[in-house]
A and B are shown apart, each in its own frame.
Chain A
């Protein structure tokens, strides 16, 4: 009995302490950045850099919390109530969805920050096993009989949508715009996909750690990161003849930031992405900086020059999103699992 009394007392004390420390954590300046999968390493470094910058500037401490996942999934979580101050997602359509559904982001958000709210860009490349045993050089090679392709699910992953559109763009050029042939190519391509992970990081893990598949369609930064982190002796990066100019945009979730009183801080956080330090960190993490002028030339050497199609070729995301990835859209018609 005495034990139980003591136990209960300890338990309640524990609750009190924990609640106390949680609220203490809230009292300081806290930002929640909801981001997509492959930005983990970049934002880890950037958050530390920004916190130091903010401290030097204002003398205030700032704690930045991160959430990562497939871009579409993250957008839905914010729509569902995840209280992000800023979103740094893989594509415009996901931020548009938050803006439309919650009204917490102004509709003209792309005009609120430089370079259409895109501080860094990327593209889609191939990651293959060392020595490229299957001889994969371009999109045509992905549908060779014995090739297994790893890509995440376009329904949940922003990167996967860029992958899909890059493949589509190549096929359009290859087949001179013949819609039947293009659809056929993409359908065949997805028959070579054994796993659809929900996010780019899951797909990388499938390819790299689980040893499934011959080629990973990956963000350029994710491919280089895998190479760097997990051994250049295991993989090669292959740049296809044509790919897509992928713009992962950023935005302030004004509704949430205003409610929390973090608007000024959150804006400064996003603006710092465009600074020399921010751009260098982006390049160091294999993102193509939007303003390369102040970036170390050595960092820029890694980015191969290739033909890049922009989303405007698809009529912009407002048109491409429902047409390709909406319910019953092209992806739904193309991807029939199990056949």
Chain B
């Protein structure tokens, strides 16, 4: 580029470069951007008023409410777990640590359907626990507790997976110094560790939340699909789709797509602003 005849020996020629860039852009446009675009064009194909009346449907509203409720329980639960797990794993050396990390990763490689199925087997009518809990007034499967449990299972590793490498990278020096200066464990955590990991933590929570609100397979198995009662947004998308209510299905889907976009925008902002405070190893 700079010189017609000089070819940088450790880079490709300009045409190759641009061919690769275009190939990547085309690939992403086809598989990622086009579906996103279609969500919005389908949602708005009958205009704004059809879109908003679809979202104002009582069943859609209760699906949105349930989704928020489930995320509001599942995300803090996994946030606390993530903090505890990363503290134990990153600040101490013990045998079996690698195995523990593998176990924490497990939900990533288990099919969502299985994540739901295990709770049906555990709490369903022909299980041991189900009838017992039911007789004490707690319905798990086909009710909100089952949906929450399945969501926690699926989003289990997100916060921990974000924090462990970050805290490992930061080492234990700061905390040791704080403690040698007389801080207790909570103080070391609140005043030393937390400020160091807050952006990584926020990022993990964002991802965890996006998945919690968008989970379909696991929740589908435990929900019972009762409109207005145990239908989360992704399940409601499916129901509307099966009702041939295309605008409704894509309208609800568009809210979830917006959430995904928002998550990514925040992620990008976090990365540009606080890149050094975020772990470089974002595996999941």
Query: Which A positions have Cβ atoms within 8 angstroms of B?
Result: 1, 3-4, 7-8, 11-12, 14-15, 18-19, 21-22, 25, 32, 40-41, 63, 65-69, 77, 79-83, 201-202, 205, 229-230
Contacts and interface: CB of A to CB of B under 8 A. Distances in A.
Contacts of A25: 62, 228
Given A1-B195, A4-B194, A230-B244, A77 B224 contact: yes
Interface string B51-90: 0000000100010011011001101100100000000000
Q: Would you call the interface of chain B mostly helix, strand, loop, or mixed?
A: helix
9 contacts: A1-B195, A4-B201, A11-B75, A14-B69, A41-B243, A65-B227, A66-B227, A67-B225, A81-B142
A37 B221 CA distance: 18
Looking at A21, A69, A80, the one whose CB has the most chain B CB atoms below 10 A away is A80
Q: Would you call the interface of chain A mostly helix, strand, loop, or mixed?
A: helix
B6 to A, nearest CB: 50
Contacts of A201: 242
A11 B76 contact: yes
Contacts of B126: 80
A18 B68 contact: yes
Contact of A40 (B75, B141, B229, B243): B243
A22 B69 contact: yes
Contacts of A3: 198, 202
B226 interface: yes
A18 B72 contact: yes
Contacts of A22: 65-66, 69, 144
B194 A65 contact: no
A230 B243 CA distance: 11
Contacts of B244: 229-230
B242 A67 contact: no
Interface in B232-247: 239, 242-244
Given A8-B76, A21-B65, A81-B134, A67 B195 contact: no
B259 interface: no
Contacts of B68: 14, 18
B194 A1 contact: yes
A201 B72 CA distance: 34
A83 B194 contact: no
B263 to A, nearest CB: 15
Contact of A11 (B65, B72, B194): B72
Interface of B: 58, 62, 65-66, 68-69, 72-73, 75-76, 79, 124-126, 130, 134, 139, 141-142, 144, 190-191, 194-195, 198, 201-202, 205, 224-229, 239, 242-244
Nearest to B62: A25
Nearest to A226: B244
A82 B224 contact: yes
B75 to A, nearest CB: 7
Nearest to A40: B243
A201 B227 CA distance: 16
Contacts of B72: 11-12, 14-15, 18
Given A32-B229, A82-B224, 20 more contacts: A1-B190, A1-B194, A8-B76, A11-B76, A14-B69, A14-B72, A22-B66, A22-B69, A32-B226, A65-B229, A66-B228, A68-B225, A80-B124, A80-B142, A81-B134, A81-B142, A82-B142, A83-B139, A202-B242, A229-B244
Contact of B73 (A7, A15, A40): A15
Given A12-B76, A66-B227, A81-B134, A7 B141 contact: no
A205 B226 CA distance: 20
B200 to A, nearest CB: 12
A67 B113 CA distance: 21
